[in-house]
């Protein structure tokens, strides 16, 4: 049986949606842009707090098959004194197609950047080829930890069993800043002029990196696209072991098929008549569907007829509810109703049909390596009360390094910086309420909704899974173009366009509304077309 960790790899290596970075009426290229004259002209940069050990350059011809234009590839090796690390920074510089801008590309999972060779993915999954194809000079870094998004096993612990805080700091924030500082110097050296504007493009870990840049290094970027950001890392990562703990506590391990029965039932109960693409829930937090209503229902799953049990329903109810203290205080959000459950509640069966939990490696490894400091630890024995203790430990030890939840963005705003964030409401890996609550805290800190919307706008996409992969909903398609238009032309987006394709329903379009508004059906017109909806409270 395919495990959640394997499915997660697909999230980072398969395009979610090929995004068009041109929007009618937008000016997407500066009036003038220099042309590089050859890698040999690049001067080695300097980075405060780090030592650049070496630099190599290579001229790359146009890759007609992959559509990647000719570019200069610069590779830097740097280290931080006292941390014994070796960090790689890679900068790609279009030779004749530069649009005058710089783009920092984000990572996913435990990878600081998704440097996937010549693979060019959709807008939500930034890579060097994707950026360079659109005319950007772009950079990526491995933070000294490599490019494995699924596990930190190669770098989390030192030989003596203690956490490698130097590499964790690189992953959390330091290497993205170093990469940005170095890359901007490389760009200026190669083209003979600085980039007119600098943009961050990232989803998941990349979204967290973008928000960390705004919080810690507000001078690095003019515009930040932060999709499904993995902020609150110190809390949400261990908290998402909750579904496994619940299943172990109840000794009940529903299959993915059984879980889908509950998800589909919730969507049917709470879609308010919106059955396009299988149904979308506009407001999962107000969905009152009770999973216990399915107790006794006979379903055909895993090639046999099965009956939904009280324990099946209780597992789902507690997963949706999220972890709470003994006195009922909410520790973290539950999985949103309408999102696939098996990403965080993976199960498997042996040859005799006995089921057990199959924890997502992203979650399990944080607990094993950074909290228990025991890679071989059996996390199946963790009780609900023990998990609450581990969440508290994670907050105490790592919030200051990787929390990324500082709501004071004054320095970034004062520089004229802009942020567009979006999050799928059916995100099965990073639950959207964490982003919503952070945004509300920013509003409270920065002078209210209107003041915040002047520089930071949040959009919630109904039915959309993590970074646009999974779920039924149309995926935002013009986010980076909207950000460029806002930064350079002062036109703040009121909506984001989105689309999806279905063999049965064809193309579906929607306008994703500015939070807290949602798309309401006009009462007439084709439900598959964006013009049939309007944004309303």
Tell me the C-alpha distance between 510 and 499, whole Å.
6
As given in the structure block, the two tokens for residue 357 are 């939990």
Q: Which of 204, 358, 394, 498 is catalytic?
A: 204
Residues 296, 399: Cα–Cα separation, whole Å: 44
- In terms of phi and psi (left: phi > 0; alpha: psi -120 to 50; beta: otherwise), the region of 442 is alpha
| Catalytic residue, candidates 312, 365, 427, 498 | 427
Q: Quick one: three-class SS letters along 295-307?
A: CCCEEEECCEEEE
Q: What is the 3-state secondary structure (H, E, C) of 189-241?
A: HHHCCCCCEEEEEEECHHHHHHHHHHHHCCCCCCEEEEECCCCCHHHHHHHCC
Which is catalytic among the residues 120, 222, 466, 482? 466
Catalytic-residue membership of 204: yes
Q: What is the CA radius of gyration of the chain?
A: 23
| Annotation says 361 is catalytic | no
Region of residue 286 (phi > 0: left; psi between -120 and 50: alpha; otherwise: beta): alpha
For residues 517 and 531, is the Cβ–Cβ distance under 8 A? Answer: no
Q: For residue 133, how far is the Cα from the chain centroid?
A: 22
Q: DSSP letters of 343-370?
A: TTS-EEE-TT--EEE---HHHHHIIIII
Annotated catalytic residue 249: no
Catalytically active residues, by annotation: 204, 427, 466
């Amino acid at each position: 049986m395919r495990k959640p960790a394997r499915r997660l790899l697909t999230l980072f290596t398969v395009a979610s949606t090929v995004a068009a970075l041109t929007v009618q009426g937008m000016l997407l290229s500066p009036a003038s842009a220099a042309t590089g004259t050859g890698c040999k002209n690049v001067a080695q940069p300097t980075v405060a707090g780090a030592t650049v050990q070496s630099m190599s350059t290579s001229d790359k011809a146009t890759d007609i098959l992959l559509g990647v234009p000719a570019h200069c590839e610069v590779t830097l090796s740097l280290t931080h004194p006292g941390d014994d690390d070796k960090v790689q920074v890679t900068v790609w510089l279009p030779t004749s197609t530069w649009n005058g801008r710089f783009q920092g590309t984000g990572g996913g999972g435990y990878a600081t950047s998704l440097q996937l060779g010549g693979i060019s993915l959709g807008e939500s999954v930034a890579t060097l080829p994707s950026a360079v194809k659109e005319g950007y000079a772009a950079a990526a870094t491995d933070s000294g930890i490599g490019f494995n998004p699924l596990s930190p096993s190669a770098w989390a612990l030192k030989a003596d069993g203690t956490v490698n805080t130097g590499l964790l700091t690189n992953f959390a924030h330091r290497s993205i800043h170093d990469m940005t500082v170095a890359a901007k110097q490389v760009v200026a050296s190669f083209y003979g002029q600085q980039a007119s504007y600098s943009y961050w493009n990232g989803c998941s870990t990349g979204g967290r990196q973008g928000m960390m840049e705004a919080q810690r290094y507000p001078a690095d970027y003019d515009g930040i696209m932060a999709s499904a950001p993995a902020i609150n890392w110190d809390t949400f990562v261990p908290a998402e072991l909750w579904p496994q703990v619940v299943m172990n506590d109840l000794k009940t391990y529903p299959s993915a098929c059984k879980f889908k029965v509950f998800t589909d039932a919730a969507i049917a109960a709470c879609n308010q008549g919106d059955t396009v693409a299988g149904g979308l829930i506009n407001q999962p937090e107000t969905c009152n569907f009770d999973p216990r209503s399915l107790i006794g229902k006979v379903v055909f799953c895993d090639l046999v007829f099965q009956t939904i049990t009280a324990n099946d329903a209780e597992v789902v109810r507690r997963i949706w509810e999220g972890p709470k203290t003994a006195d009922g205080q909410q520790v973290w959000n539950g999985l949103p109703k309408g999102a696939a459950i098996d990403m965080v509640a993976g199960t498997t069966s042996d040859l005799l049909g006995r089921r057990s939990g199959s924890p997502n490696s992203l979650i399990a490894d944080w607990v094993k390596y950074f909290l228990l400091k025991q890679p071989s630890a059996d996390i199946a024995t963790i009780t609900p009360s023990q998990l609450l203790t581990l969440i508290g430990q994670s907050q105490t030890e790592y919030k200051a390094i990787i929390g990324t939840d500082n709501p004071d963005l004054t320095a970034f705003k004062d520089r004229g910086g802009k942020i567009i964030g979006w999050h799928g409401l059916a995100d099965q890996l990073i639950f959207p309420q964490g982003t919503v609550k952070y945004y509300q805290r920013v509003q409270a800190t920065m002078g209210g909704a209107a003041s915040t919307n002047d520089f930071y706008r949040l959009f919630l996409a109904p039915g959309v899974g993590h970074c646009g992969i999974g779920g039924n909903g149309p995926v935002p398609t013009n986010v980076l173009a909207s950000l460029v238009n806002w930064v350079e032309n002062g036109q703040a987006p009121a909506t984001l366009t989105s689309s999806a394709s279905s063999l049965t329903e064809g193309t579906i379009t929607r306008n994703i509304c500015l939070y807290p508004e949602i798309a309401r059906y006009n009462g007439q017109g084709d439900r598959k077309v964006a013009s049939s909806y309007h944004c309303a409270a």
